[in-house]
Amino acid sequence: MVIRFSFFLFTFFSILPGCKKTDEKETAWQVNISYQVDSSPLQMNRMMYMCEAGYDYEVTKLNYYVSHFVFSKNDGSQYESDKVFYVNAANPTTNSLLFENFPPGDYTAVDFYVGLDSSHNVTDGLAATLDNINMGWPDEMGGGYHFMKLEGHYKDANGTYGFAIHLGKNKHLVPIHLSRALTVSGGHSSPLNLTMNINEWFKNPAVYDFNTDGNYSMNNDTAMQKLCINGADIFN
């Protein structure tokens, strides 16, 4: 009887660490991105928005990369992901970012880039998918990739014109910092939902004017730097 009871205690306490480890194991977790223009949901190919400079405009394309995610806990520890995500605002499947092996815990902030760090931002630095190829930055302009392509049309008093707000080159990486309380558990956890406000590219702290700053920003370092500064608070 004593032998059986001892065996039971050994088995019981042997199981306890296993239960704890199961609760703490890494889990799949998701970040979802949606789009607004100030308080209105983004609708592609609709001349229904107004930028800070006073022009009506529409968006016909929004493609970009987000990368180098760093999730911080209040004890100072961090989880870093080396995943690179290509996002096409018009393709819902690309607007859900899946982290397959996310460590559970309580997080207080998330940092990431719109764009690619210098180790990825080189010609052929990413897999040769059609999306990545189409995001290529010309070798004669430094190579690597477009960080973002935001394109459409705008109207002023004289007519309707196209715009292509393109970001590229290592010095035009856009860092994003969000203070956000997040709890990720080993079971089902709510995703992190982010909303990009398109108008923030064109205001705060500086008004971006298509007619004076340029409706085509590619290789215009002054224009791209202005966009980078504005881009710091594009996500709510």
What is the per-residue pLDDT across 12-67, written as a single tens digit (0 to 9) for each? 334 444 433 334 577 899 999 999 999 999 999 999 999 999 999 999 999 999 99
Q: What percent of the chain has pLDDT over 70?
A: 89
Q: Tell me the average pLDDT across 136-157.
A: 96
pLDDT tens digits, 220-231: 999 999 999 999
In a domain, 2, yes or no: no
CA distances, 76 to each of 70, 223, 227 (Å): 12, 36, 31
pTM of the model: 0.88
HSE-CB at 51 with a 13 A cutoff on CA atoms is 27
In a domain, 63, yes or no: yes
Residue 184, domain extent: 27-233
In a domain, 207, yes or no: yes
In a domain, 37, yes or no: yes
What integer best gives the mean pLDDT of the chain?
Answer: 90
- The secondary element (H helix, E strand) that includes residue 221 is helix 221-230
Q: Looking at residue 229, what is its pLDDT? A: 97
In a domain, 42, yes or no: yes
- The secondary element (H helix, E strand) that includes residue 12 is helix 2-24
In a domain, 202, yes or no: yes
- Chain-centroid distance of CA 94 in Å reads 11
**Integer Cα distance of 49 and 203 in angstroms:** 14
How many domains, in total, are found in the chain? 1
In a domain, 97, yes or no: yes
In a domain, 18, yes or no: no
